[in-house]
Structure 1
Amino acid sequence: MDFCDLSGKVVTKNNINYDELRQVLNRSIQNFPIAIVYCYNYDDVSNAIVWARKNDISLRIRSGGHNYQGFSVGNTTLVIDISNINYIDINEENNYVKVGGGIKSSKIYKELSSYNYPFPGGTCPNVGVSGFITGGGWGLSSRKFGLGCDSLIEVEIINYQGRLIKSNKFVNDDLFWAIKGSGGGNYGVIVSMTFSLLPKVDKVSLFSLYYPHASRNTQFEFFNTWQNWIITASNDINMRCGIYNDLTDGIYVSALGLSYNDEITTTKNLEDFLNIKGCILNIENIPLFEALQKIQHSYPDYEYFKSAGRFVYKNYDTYEINHLLSIINDSRPYGSYLTALNMYGLGGNISKTKNNDSAYYYRNAHYILSLQTKFESNDYLISNTNWLSNHYDYLSSLTYGNYINFPYYPLKDYEKEYYGYNLDKIRKIKEKYDPYCFFNFPQSVTF
């Protein structure tokens, strides 16, 4: 195949680095594109789109490669990699920051926090911000500042014709609405994003809770405390937490959180958790950037895993909690070194926006509940896939809707699950801006 009309850096199967460069975060996903084009500017992106249409080749769009189902890379596709379009322009006078579509969380955190500006991003350093915000964008600052997409004020995308389109609340406002929560890769390639600058922050309190060798009673107490605490907690605090069955450390409970208060206030806000026997609290009031670095430091470059995350709207009774705990307390699937029941705090300023004010529908959920298994290699893929599948129906029976940034590929009626009652509007916008469904993948928006 002739790749001469492509600009940027083109990597094909003949390239010595092809096998490494086709990989994504979740190594349980293995796809083989015909080529990867690394784009350095808007023209490179436009050329790639036009070339793919001319040659009847399917496209995938990759910035960080962190889609849990690996939808940013596909077999016999052309991958548009925008990771090198990663500029950042901080405009304090007009209170905005404009960034390239391929920027990662680590870079935007570093640059903004050097001016003491927070950013409502995620916790993993290599997540592409464009993929993050198109799924809504959960993070430890979400209860205080809203989702990542809530600070977005403008995007530029390159559409199926290779044309640059600007979208904000005044121009192409329907597309702007859709981009905020209907998932990445559905309407075109995002090449720039502009965000409002948030109020400056000097220090934050970074904390962790740890319950080693947690008994079943401790697990129950923690879960029950969590489900009540997250409803009434201050908007200034949030955490992700979980109950884990670890090959090395056994069963334990752990939480990582961020508070925009001092140590004394934060400790008081965590009092209910501290009253659970065996709790080990670590807390430090440190500069924002130092806290962000510590949060991001624990993430590996890649993993083998299967997971699914759904929204919780109610408190669970004793039977329901114990059933969830049984999933983790039972033996791990063959080849798994960690199974987890994870919780990600919602509420606060996330719920101040109405369900239909952006494509992200699940504004009133209390938290995201996720099941995950991690394993050593794809030699154990089937057993771990089956484990998640076997428990998914029960998880689904207790929850409502699936978080699109934690996609689950076997999901039935996935569009309804991801988008709720915003689906009809999303489909109309898809038809308007991508009338031939050129941007498609296994769980893309259809019409």
Structure 2
Amino acid sequence: MNQEMKALAKKVITKDDFEYEVCRQGWNRGIEQYPLAIVYCQKEEEIQATIAYAKKHHYDLRIRSGGHHYEGYSNGNEVIVIDVSEMNAIEVNENRQTVTIQGGVRNEALYKALGEKGYPFPGGGCPTVGVAGLTLGGGWGYSARFLGLAADSLLELELVDAYGKILVANEKVNPELFWACKGAGGGQFGVVTKLVYKLPAKVDLATWIYLDFPNSTLVEKKQIIATWQETFETLDSRLNLKMSIYHSDERGKGIFMTGICYGDASLAHELLMPFKSIACSMVLKLEEASILKVNQIIQDSHPPYEKYKSNGRFLMRRLQDEEIEALINLVEVKPEGAYYAALSFYGMGGKIAQVPKEKAAFYYRDAKAIIGLQAVWEDQEAAPVNRKWVLNQLEQVGGYTEGAFVNFPLAEIADYETAYFGTHTNQLRKIKEKYDPENCFSFPQSIRK
């Protein structure tokens, strides 16, 4: 059987291989999983063969591109992983104003290919995140208020289904599958091998923003968050920010913001004026550069991997003063063994909210922000305490927010389909039944039929 498995592709890593220990790891090193094999597919035929093999021998499948799933669902114990990271071609067609990528392309490579030609892209901040997985879950990024979610630029995709068929999905061909693939999350209906996006207009320059309020008091933190809420009500869509209330071994406690302004530094200064007017200690850094350089700055801020527990929920309304204080207090004491804990606000609005909710499976179009709670540790012995801390603190966050973001998943959500997809759940179940009736692509939070 091992020979048969090894013949599935040019590169198949099993537990007997020296490379296995490295290859089995995802970005979240806080999750330890031991797959039966990792099949690095370079073409559709290898994907088809791997699916057929797994079905023949009754093995569960997982699909991996960037390996950034928060809960590790692109991997698993005693499963066969279809890894498409070596399918990484990019084709920019300026005549048609499209960019076509294979399923293994990551943010860093796509930003480089487009940025060198002057085009932005609504991708994510971390360089090694797979663009396919990002898009399938909707795809938040620092450009989302200006360009929309990654899924909003998607024109077409191809995937290999449970029977080895290559399906095309767009507005006219398999339109219900195309709709589902714009927000239902990765790994649900098949192995995505190709995605076609509409190119946005070229951008000459942008401005990277870093704004820190170190050692800020409770009163100052409340003012900063209140200013965030007020500012984002009417904020120019050329600007987006992530704001984090942090508690760090290295930096202490405070609030920082980082983001992108699609314009020069003078525009960034103007749009940031409400925050600059807050009377407390502040560190402001702006760098006006090409969109490629700006994205590189953001990507370089990410470590090669982390051990963490995190999540994402949607803020649908304005927080009251006492609610802001309660959220600040959540990270006042970080869990034992954590070197960093934070409560973060990911800016929504702008182009995201302009797309009708029924146009894609992504449900929470009218959210004001995504709120994420995070604990990061180094010693794996601290993992249970940190995970428990996140879950306990989330009980407070849950009272002020709705649903959950499928790209920032949480394993402990009981009714995860309603949390991720709202009233789109029933339609997604019908699409799952149509395109994967045997539930070949199944994982702990896959869509139920």
CA distance in 1, matches of 2:299, 2:6: 39
Is residue 97–residue 195 contact of structure 1 (8 Å, CA) maintained in 2? yes
More moved, 341-350 vs 260-269? 260-269
In structure 2, what is the equivalent of residue 58 of structure 1? 60
Which of 354, 359, 372 is the equivalent residue of 2:356? Answer: 354
- What is the letter of the counterpart of residue 298 of structure 2? I
RMSD, aligned CA: 0.9
- What is the letter of the counterpart of residue 393 of structure 2? H
Q: Which runs of 4+ in 1 moved over 3 A?
A: none
CA distance in 2, matches of 1:22, 1:229: 44
CA distance in 2, matches of 1:432, 1:176: 13
CA distance in 1, matches of 2:240, 2:443: 33
In structure 2, what is the equivalent of residue 193 of structure 1? 195
In structure 1, what is the equivalent of residue 294 of structure 2? 291
CA distance in 1, matches of 2:386, 2:327: 17
In structure 2, what is the equivalent of residue 266 of structure 1? 268
User: What are the equivalent positions in structure 2 for 1:9-408 lying under 5 Å apart?
Assistant: 9-276=11-278, 277-329=280-332, 331-408=333-410
- Residue-by-residue CA offset, 1:395-419 (whole Å, 9 max, x unaligned): 1111011011100100110000000
- 3-state SS of paired residue (2:222): helix
Which of 432, 437, 443 is the equivalent residue of 2:445? Answer: 443
* Identity percentage of aligned residues: 39
Is residue 305–residue 373 contact of structure 1 (8 Å, CA) maintained in 2? yes
Q: CA deviation at 1:318?
A: 1.3
Q: CA deviation at 1:5?
A: 4.3
CA distance in 2, matches of 1:28, 1:445: 25
- 3-state SS of paired residue (2:210): strand
- What is the letter of the counterpart of residue 281 of structure 1? L
- 3-state SS of paired residue (1:416): helix
- 3-state SS of paired residue (1:347): coil
- Residue-by-residue CA offset, 1:10-63 (whole Å, 9 max, x unaligned): 100000110111000111111110000001111111111111111111000000
Q: CA deviation at 1:4?
A: 4.5
CA distance in 1, matches of 2:270, 2:135: 32
In structure 1, what is the equivalent of residue 425 of structure 2? 423
Is residue 210–residue 258 contact of structure 2 (8 Å, CA) maintained in 1? yes
CA distance in 1, matches of 2:52, 2:224: 54
Q: CA deviation at 1:217?
A: 1.5
Is residue 240–residue 343 contact of structure 1 (8 Å, CA) maintained in 2? yes
Q: CA deviation at 1:215?
A: 1.3
CA distance in 1, matches of 2:71, 2:229: 28
Is residue 334–residue 383 contact of structure 1 (8 Å, CA) maintained in 2? yes
Is residue 5–residue 47 contact of structure 1 (8 Å, CA) maintained in 2? no
CA distance in 2, matches of 1:180, 1:377: 37
Is residue 310–residue 369 contact of structure 1 (8 Å, CA) maintained in 2? yes
Is residue 5–residue 51 contact of structure 1 (8 Å, CA) maintained in 2? no
- 3-state SS of paired residue (2:420): helix
- 3-state SS of paired residue (1:400): coil
- What is the letter of the counterpart of residue 317 of structure 2? K
CA distance in 2, matches of 1:284, 1:386: 39
Q: CA deviation at 1:359?
A: 0.2
Q: CA deviation at 1:205?
A: 1.1
Is residue 100–residue 193 contact of structure 1 (8 Å, CA) maintained in 2? yes
Is residue 6–residue 12 contact of structure 2 (8 Å, CA) maintained in 1? no
- What is the letter of the counterpart of residue 308 of structure 2? F
Structure 1 unaligned residues grouped into runs of 5+: none
More moved, 56-65 vs 259-268? 259-268
Is residue 84–residue 103 contact of structure 2 (8 Å, CA) maintained in 1? yes
Structure 2 unaligned residues grouped into runs of 5+: none
CA distance in 1, matches of 2:80, 2:65: 14
- 3-state SS of paired residue (2:422): helix
CA distance in 1, matches of 2:384, 2:230: 36
Q: CA deviation at 1:248?
A: 2.3
- What is the letter of the counterpart of residue 99 of structure 2? V
- 3-state SS of paired residue (2:230): helix
Is residue 135–residue 183 contact of structure 2 (8 Å, CA) maintained in 1? yes
Q: CA deviation at 1:356?
A: 1.5
CA distance in 2, matches of 1:344, 1:206: 16
Q: CA deviation at 1:377?
A: 2.4
- Residue-by-residue CA offset, 1:279-336 (whole Å, 9 max, x unaligned): 221112111111111110011111010111100011111111111111111x211100
Equivalenced residue count is 446
Is residue 273–residue 279 contact of structure 1 (8 Å, CA) maintained in 2? no
Is residue 50–residue 82 contact of structure 2 (8 Å, CA) maintained in 1? yes
